[in-house]
Structure 1
Amino acid sequence: MKAAVLPAVDTPIEVRDDIEVAAPGPGEVRVRVAASGVCHSDLSVQNGTIRLPTPIVLGHEGAGVVEEVGEGVSTVAVGDHVVLTFVPACGECHMCLHHQSYLCERASLQVSGGLADGTTRLTSGGAALHQMAYLGTFGEQAIVPAISLVKIPESVPLEVAALLGCGVLTGVGAALNTATIAPGDTVVVFGCGGVGLNVIQGARIAGATTIIAVDQFASKLDLARSFGATHTIDSTEEDPVSAVAVHNEGRGADVAFEVVGLGPVIEQAIKAVRSGGEVVLVGVPRMDVVINLNVAFTWLYQAKKISGCWYGSSNVHEDVPKLLDLWERGELQLEDLISKEITVDQVNEAFADMQAGTVARSVIRHG
């Protein structure tokens, strides 16, 4: 098959057409990948922020059609349309049984760049080829654990469904699941890329009436308005903390989301919320990022709450249907997230567009 491969950290992606795909093993499924979003986390693997072994087929946000099932698979069948989720949900581990399937313990071996048994089903030039997040949706086919699939109705366009696999579940989930947003609240979102836009529309769905978008790209702020931002702040022109402070009768925001993963921006988000407010950390930082804030005046006396957010605190088997219902009712914008549809040969261009802030999402269409 053909796939986009990262040969090494800090190198351009290569498109290879010599990749051999082994048959699915027990508990595994072969999926013909129809569409894959190009997400900032893919870029984070390329630049080393997320450390995975190389060479590796990137891509962790996709949708497709089941072509073959391995021994013991009963949750999906050949011909089913599915969303590929980069966090599996086994339904059996401690985390899944404690309503935290977004922390499913079966995901632990993803760091090996293989499948749940630590091995890979892909080879290129006779050498093993890793796959991101048990998936590798930048390839035309993927061998994945059945627990990494969510069946969806065939009526849902696969290029739309693909976005649910990461950006939408993470962003909308951060607002609806992780945070506590009450109707009428003031919310600020630092970072308006693909995930940030979904945080914004999640805050809108939750009932926030003042939604402040912060970014350094005018193009992203324009997009933020179209997804529900009521106010925008260009962080290159004014101090976001001071600008946010004037809202909510001068108290600052009730809830802040940091969707960048940079230490200084995290500190800004914490300072931008009112006493008793909530900060949700969504962006993926480098491993060496630390913050330096006064504990007494940040947490104790002001009683601010800081929550980490992984995958929008989502239960994929419950939240994918909920999000599709919101989409069908016109409350959730999905098609508008797709700025470009591209072929896998254009993936380096898609990475450049993402870094330039000119797209919400580029979507690879396979075949």
Structure 2
Amino acid sequence: MKTKAAILWETGQPWSVEEIELDPPLENEVLVRIEAAGMCHSDDHVRLGDGYAALPTIGGHEGAGVIEQVGPGITDLAVGDHVVFSFTPACGRCRWCVNGRSNLCDYGQFLMEGSMISGGYRAHARGRDVGTLSLVGTFAERTVVHETSVIRVDPELPFEVACLLGCGVPTGWGSAVNIGRVQPGDTVVVVGIGGIGANAVQGALLCGAQNVVAVDPVPFKLEQAKLLGATHTAASMEEALPLVTDLTRGVMAEVGVCTIGVVEGRMIQPFVNLVSKGGRAVLTGMARNVDDKPVLGLQMFSLFEKSLLGTVYGGCNPRSDIPRLGALYKAGRLRLDELVTRTYALDEINQGYADMLAGKNIRGVIVNSF
């Protein structure tokens, strides 16, 4: 079939929205009509070449839609199911999945290769095969994906917020809940209030944090953080340091979560300075792939028994946590509508990313009209 998608042909170039030819699903694959797709900073990392991806590729790894066709071998998904894409597949069989760490599923080795898990390509344009970013390629009207990359969700969830459950919400929420292990009464500092940091704020609050300090240079984002429950705000880590010192009588924060859009090695020390002895500093934001020199005073880091923890997907298990987060939203315990600052048509994708980089959006969402 013919459909539209946003393709990255060359590093550093804008997204090209054009017609593609999409093959039907093969064994263990499904065809999904994409209703909404979130615009995450990670896709811009790929566009700029900060992260590797085989080109050309259809961008997007955050999305929600409806299954329109199933391939042979599909037993637990059906036409009409509402699904959220998981940017990391979950096979349910590898060592990591069976140990409850499906965010590290071995199928992740295929994420940036572009081709399908079972081999080959289903999308084609300009006479060439076109890959799909993170095995999903949600910047499109339709896509074919492996069954391990979709999670069935409650059909009552609005697509505009359901799409965020595939990346930004679980990554931020899990950074505080699963990796940071926030406890009731803790002080938590969240550095960077975008689509991920906003949910780290919410995760900390759901765990019972006493103080949640949101740090961002953009006043609009700090206002949104307060709307989501942040108790204090600061424009920079340097400004946050005396604030956290005063709030905790010098103890500092039990947990820090760094979700800056582009993390740099020089930022590590001021980030870790915000965390207490025995505290946990969670590094969630992405760095450029050439940045391999973090600045960290090792002696005090060791003597104060601090932990610097990396994470992908916030340590979430997509098959259990995506429906759970959807249920929290329906129960009024997780605020998702407030995360969607503006919606865009697929043809407006480059404007959406310009707005994100200008600090205008917590999350921009592409909404398809059929």
Q: TM-score range by the shorter chain?
A: over 0.9
Return the letter of the residue paired with 1:37.
G
- Determine which of 287, 292, 297 is the counterpart of 1:294: 297
Q: Give the Cα separation in 1 of the matches to 2:337 and 2:300.
A: 43
Is the 1:107–1:116 Cα contact (8 Å) retained in structure 2?
no
- 2:311 & 2:364 partners in 1: Cα distance? 24
Query: Contact conserved, 1:57 with 1:130, CA < 8 A, in 2?
Result: yes
What residue number does 1:352 align with? 354
Q: SS of 1:20's equivalent?
A: strand
Mapped partners of 1:274, 1:288: distance in 2: 30
Matched, 1:78 2:59: no
| SS of structure 2 residue aligned to 1:172 | helix
Q: Which residue of the partner structure matches residue 330 of structure 1? A: 332
Matches of 2:120 and 2:217, distance apart in 1: 41
- 1:306 aligns to what? 308
Alpha-carbon distance between aligned partners in 2 of 1:219 and 1:119, rounded to the nearest angstrom = 44
1:195-274 paired onto structure 2 within 5 Å: 195-235=196-236, 238-260=238-260, 261-274=263-276
Once the two structures are TM-superposed, the CA of residue 54 in structure 1 deviates from its matched residue by: 1.7
Match of 2:323 in 1: 321
1:247/1:253 contact within 8 Å kept: no
- Distance in 2 (CA, whole Å) between partners of 1:110 and 1:75 is 23
- Cα shift readout 1:195-252 (whole Å, capped 9, x = no counterpart): 010111111111111001111111111111111111111129x543344322212211
Deviation, 1:180, is: 1.2
Preserved CA contact (<8 Å) 1:262 1:285 = yes
Are the counterparts in 1 of residues 112 and 135 from structure 2 also a CA contact under 8 Å?
Answer: no
**Secondary structure of the structure 2 residue equivalent to 1:111:** coil
| CA distance in 2: counterparts of 1:306 and 1:283, whole angstroms | 13
Question: Does the residue aligned with 1:285 lie in a helix, a strand or coil?
Answer: coil
> Aligned partners of 1:144, 1:160: CA distance in 2, in Å?
21
Aligned residue type for 1:77: A
In 1: Cα distance, 2:55 partner to 2:137 partner: 12
Give the CA deviation at 1:357.
Answer: 0.7
Deviates more, 1:28-37 or 1:238-247: 238-247
Q: Spell out, residue by residue over 1:31-65, the C-alpha distance to the aligned partner (whole angstroms, 9 max, x if none).
A: 01111011111111111111112221101000000
| Aligned-partner SS, 1:2 | strand
Taking the TM superposition and a 5 Å limit, the aligned residue runs for 1:30-41 are 30-41=31-42
Query: Where in structure 1 are there 5+ consecutive unaligned residues?
Result: none
> What secondary structure does 1:246 align onto?
helix
Distance in 1 (alpha carbons) for counterparts of 2:252 and 2:246: 6
Extract unaligned runs of 5+ from structure 2. Answer: none
Answering whether residue 134 of structure 2 is matched by residue 133 of structure 1, we say yes
User: Residues of 2 paired with 1:284 and 1:251: CA distance?
Assistant: 28
Shift of 1:301: 1.1
Structure 2 counterpart SS, 1:32? strand
Q: Is the 8 A contact 2:257 2:282 kept in 1?
A: yes
For residues 1-21 of structure 1, the C-alpha deviation after alignment (integer angstroms, 9 at most, x for no partner) is 11111121111111102x000
RMSD: 1.3
Deviations 1:160-209 (A, max 9, x none): 11110110011111112111111111000111111010111111111111
Aligned position for 1:97:
98
User: What is the alpha-carbon distance in structure 2 between the residues aligned to residue 8 and residue 158 of structure 1?
Assistant: 30
TM-score, scaled relative to structure 2: 0.96
What amino acid does structure 2 have at the position aligned with 1:116? I
Q: Which moved more, 1:279-288 or 1:115-124?
A: 115-124
| Per-residue deviation, 1:118 | 4.4
SS in 2 for 1:60: coil
Secondary structure of 2:349's partner?
helix
